[in-house]
Amino acid sequence: MRIGELSDRTSTSRRLLRYYEEQGLIVATRCANGYRAYDEPTVDRVLQVRGLLDAGLPTRIIKQILPCLDKPRVIHFPDATPEMLATLEVERDRMTRRIDCLTRNRDAVADYLAAVRETAAPTAQAPGTTGTLDAPGSLATLDTLDAPVALDATSA
């Protein structure tokens, strides 16, 4: 498949795919016309790379563990060095802290939404708008049919 199809199938920009290739994270063959060609397993490899990047692993670590990936989304480490294990433990602990922080933030947003919904009085909406006003004195965003508009609920 060509780079455009790989980009579409993985929701990854062509520029980023070229970067992955430059970093040795994926491999492309070249057609006679110079175009890049990728095989089917490259789709899963790109998804693996993106998942590891999203988890916070740097490309230098990803490049080291990619040879150990024999199936999509499964990591095997037959010859792991103590240094590699220590590095992965540090990265795992960092990801755990990140997950904990994201969980606290998600819970805080959920608590805020619940509090606002409990205290917000029903209000009439202007024609062509959706959404609700937050509690009095707070800022709210109403989505209009054209563009979002921020309103100060105290002046409404």
pLDDT tens series, the chain, 156 aa: 999 999 999 999 999 999 999 999 999 999 999 999 999 999 999 998 998 898 888 888 888 888 776 665 566 666 777 888 888 888 889 889 988 998 999 999 999 999 999 887 565 555 555 555 444 444 444 344 344 444 344 433
> Which among 4, 48, 7 has a CA at the least distance from the CA of 25?
48
Contact (CB, 8 A) for 131 and 144: no
DSSP at 135? S
DSSP at 74? B
Q: Phi/psi class of residue 132: alpha, beta or left (left: φ > 0; alpha: ψ in -120 to 50)?
A: beta
Give the pLDDT of residue 98.
87
Query: Per DSSP, what are the bridge partners of residue 37?
Result: 29
Instruction: Count Cβ atoms within 10 A of the Cβ of residue 19 and give its class: 0-12 exposed, 13-18 middle, 19 or more buried.
Output: middle
Contact (CB, 8 A) for 130 and 143: yes
* Rounded Cα–Cα distance for residues 88 and 57 (Å): 9
DSSP at 38? -
Contact (CB, 8 A) for 86 and 104: no
* Rounded Cα–Cα distance for residues 19 and 8 (Å): 16
* Rounded Cα–Cα distance for residues 46 and 71 (Å): 13
